[in-house]
């Protein structure tokens, strides 16, 4: 059974709903003086930022350790998308109240850092660094300040044109490389903190992106995942002014690159040229993550999503009109202020119409600074929970049917997980489906193999290697 698999490698793609709690021992000894420990919450962009922060630290002679106890420098790269996510870092920081350790340097990075700013020093006086993602290019200077003995260091500006370039990035996955092409967000979704926590949109030059892709291919990476909160709003600052679709094609053309993914796309900026690129370039993955948030045009207007239900469904029709069969996933928020039973019905009927292959559904969580925080007609928590369950159940029924139809089909997967049980592997198809499969071969990690689906459940596929 897939549930009994215990994979040593592999990561999450798609938005990560909530990072599971990672067990760790509270501080006791500070270890040697140039060691660091970093724990990351939130989306893939945060995961990738941590890879770059680790690169900066390694470049300065620090060594990464896997235990908090052994670390001199402890960094939390935080997420603020929902209240529950933001709470996590404060529970981590609370551990230091119980067991203070003045030899450690504690840093809070990411979206909670940007949102709470110097308030974090008030709540947790043992914190030494507070730095948001728009200021990471200043990290080397901030580290110098810390090394010089300064005990309150901040990087909180958001008005920067810079993107976060590093000389070295310590990537977690040896086969799939994340690569941020656009940072920040200029949209104004009423519920969302990201424009406040990550600053305005800044696109990276296509020349720099392609140079990094060539280096990654040279280092053995065969899959590239281009990242941005609105990845398809990319605006090339280079003289070539490549469109997003042209950039996709250029990345896929780099020798050695077999797969190119991109996430997250905003429906308003999703054009026909992207579908045409996927159609004509097999290395572009046949998967699009296109968050809809609600099936009700009234709620979409209140959310300031800049499209109606009908316009969203037109985008889906466009994606489905391609020659390749493109897998589609989405995000839904239930319980936005003013959402009625009728609005929920419209979300359910949109699920039926769209036939997504996967959906991340969330209960609306009011966030500081956002415009929705001032809206009346809050939906009670209990009712949000009920609506969430209803949405998840409808999507589950859809996925049962869709996944059942895959039994007997063969997918090429990039193997990125091995079970402790010999002969059991896990890989991901171009369409981003996870397949757990049996194979008599050893050393499959990082290989592309063909797997035939033998069994399907709503959330996973089981198969066997075919040669
Ligand atoms: N940039 C992406 C996704 C950003 S965050 C986009 O525009 O779609 C990932 C998902 O978290 C969102 O798609 C949304 O479904 C959810 N989310 C964001 N803010 C939220 C909030 N305040 N409460 C609940 N869910 C939220
Ligand atoms: Fe948030 Fe909207 Fe920007 Fe996505 S597009 S990051 S939901 S403001
Ligand atoms: Fe969270 Fe910030 Fe990403 S709020 S989802 S870590 S952009």
Q: Which domain does 440 fall in, by range?
A: 410-466
How many structural domains does the chain have? Answer: 4
Residue ID of nearest Cα to ligand 1 atom 3? 229
For ligand 3, which residues put their CB under 6 angstroms from it? Answer: 42-43, 45-46, 79-81, 110-111, 193-194, 197-198
Instruction: Return phi, psi of residue 256, to 5°.
Output: 100, -20
Residue 6 in any domain: the answer is: no
400 and 425 in a common domain:
no
Cβ neighbours of residue 263 closer than 8 Å, sequence gap 6 or more: 13, 14, 15, 44, 225, 226, 227, 228, 231, 289
Domain containing residue 297: CATH number? 3.30.750.200
**Distance between Cα 184 and ligand 2 center (Å):** 9
Q: Give residue 29's pLDDT.
A: 43
The reply to whether 140 and 21 lie within a common domain is yes
Residues of the chain with pLDDT under 70: 1-31
Instruction: Specify if 164 maps to a domain.
Output: no
Give the phi and the psi of residue 47 in degrees, each rounded to 5: -60, -45
Ligand 3 centre distance from Cα of residue 42 (Å): 5
Residue 134 near residue 114, CB atoms below 8 Å: yes
Q: Cβ atoms within 10 A of the Cβ of 254, count?
A: 19
CA of residue 116 to ligand 3 center, whole Å: 14
This model's pTM is above 0.75: yes
- Give the end of a domain, one of 285, 307, 333: 285
42 and 145 part of one domain: yes
In angstroms, what is the span from residue 81 Cα to ligand 1's centroid? 7
> What's the pLDDT at 414?
97
Q: Which of 194, 289, 294 to mutate to test the pocket of ligand 2 (most atoms within 8 A of CB)?
A: 194
Mark whether 304 and 318 lie in a shared domain. yes
What pLDDT does 427 receive? 96
In-domain check, residue 344: yes
Which of 77, 79, 200, 368 has most ligand 3 atoms within 8 Å of its beta carbon, as the pocket-test mutant?
Answer: 79
Domain boundary pick from 155, 181, 199: 155
Among 410, 269, 390, 413, smallest CA distance to 335 is for 390
Q: Residue 109 forms beta bridges with which residues?
A: 77, 131
What's the pLDDT at 162?
82
Which one of 285, 307, 336 terminates a domain? Answer: 285
Nearest one of 253, 287, 261, 428 to 358, comparing CA atoms: 287
CATH number at residue 262: 3.30.750.210
Residue nearest atom 19 in ligand 1 by C-alpha distance? 192
Regarding the beta carbon of 229 and ligand 2, being less than 6 Å apart is answered: yes
Tell me, yes or no, whether 269 lies in a domain. Answer: yes
What atom of ligand 2 comes closest to residue 188's alpha carbon? 8
CATH number at residue 456: 2.40.50.140
- My answer on whether 455 and 379 are in the same domain is no
Of all protein residues, the one whose alpha carbon is nearest to atom 4 of ligand 2 is 229
What is the token pair recorded at 259?
A: 């797969």
Are 39 and 80 found together in one domain?
A: yes
Same structural domain for residues 300 and 393?
yes
The Cα 435–Cα 412 span in angstroms is 10
pLDDT digits (tens, 9 = 90+) for 155-206: 998 777 788 889 899 999 999 999 999 999 999 999 999 999 999 999 999 9
Q: How far is the CA of 47 from the centre of ligand 1 (A)?
A: 17
């Amino acid at each position: 059974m897939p549930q009994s698999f215990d994979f040593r490698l592999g990561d999450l793609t798609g938005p990560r709903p909530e990072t599971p709690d990672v067990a760790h021992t509270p501080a006791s000894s500070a270890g040697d003086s140039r060691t660091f420990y970093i724990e990351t919450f939130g989306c893939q962009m945060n995961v990738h930022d941590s890879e770059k922060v680790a690169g900066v630290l390694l470049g300065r002679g620090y060594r990464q350790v896997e235990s908090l106890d052994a670390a001199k420098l402890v960094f939390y790269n935080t997420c603020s998308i929902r209240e529950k996510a933001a709470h996590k870092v404060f529970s981590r920081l609370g551990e230091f109240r119980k067991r203070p350790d003045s030899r450690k340097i504690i840093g809070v990075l990411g979206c909670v850092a940007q949102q709470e700013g110097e308030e974090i020093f008030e709540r947790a006086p043992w914190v030494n660094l507070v730095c948001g993602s728009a200021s990471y290019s200043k990290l080397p200077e901030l580290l110098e300040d810390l090394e010089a003995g300064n005990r309150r260091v901040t990087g909180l500006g958001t008005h920067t044109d810079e993107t976060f370039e590093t000389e070295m990035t310590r990537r977690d996955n040896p086969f799939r490389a994340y690569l941020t092409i656009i940072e920040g967000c200029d949209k104004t979704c009423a519920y969302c903190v990201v424009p406040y926590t990550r600053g305005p949109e800044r696109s990276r030059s296509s020349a720099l992106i392609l140079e990094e892709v060539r280096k990654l291919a040279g280092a053995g990476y065969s899959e590239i995942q281009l990242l941005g909160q609105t990845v398809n709003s990319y605006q090339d600052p280079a003289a070539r002014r490549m469109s997003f679709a042209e950039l996709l094609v250029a990345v896929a053309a780099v020798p050695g690159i077999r797969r190119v993914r991109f996430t997250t796309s905003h429906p308003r900026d999703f054009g026909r040229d992207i579908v045409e690129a996927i159609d004509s370039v097999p290395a572009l993955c046949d998967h699009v993550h296109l968050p809809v948030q609600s099936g009700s045009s009234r709620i979409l207007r209140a959310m300031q999503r800049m499209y109606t239900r009908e316009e969203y469904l037109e985008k889906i029709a466009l994606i489905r009109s391609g020659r390749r069969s493109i897998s589609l996933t989405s995000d839904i928020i239930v319980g936005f202020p003013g959402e009625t039973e009728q609005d929920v019905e419209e979300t359910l009927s949109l699920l039926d119409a769209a036939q997504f292959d996967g959906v991340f559904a969330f209960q609306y969580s009011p966030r500081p600074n956002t415009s929705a925080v001032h809206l009346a007609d809050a939906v009670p928590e209990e009712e949000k929970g009920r609506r969430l369950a209803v949405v998840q159940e409808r999507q589950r029924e859809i996925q049962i049917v869709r996944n059942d139809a895959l039994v007997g089909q063969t997918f090429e997967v990039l193997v990125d997980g091995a079970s402790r049980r010999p002969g059991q592997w896990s890989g991901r198809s171009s369409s981003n489906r996870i397949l757990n499969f049996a194979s008599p071969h050893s050393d499959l990690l990082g290989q592309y193999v063909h797997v035939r689906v033998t069994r399907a459940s709503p959330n996973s596929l089981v198969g066997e290697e075919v040669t």
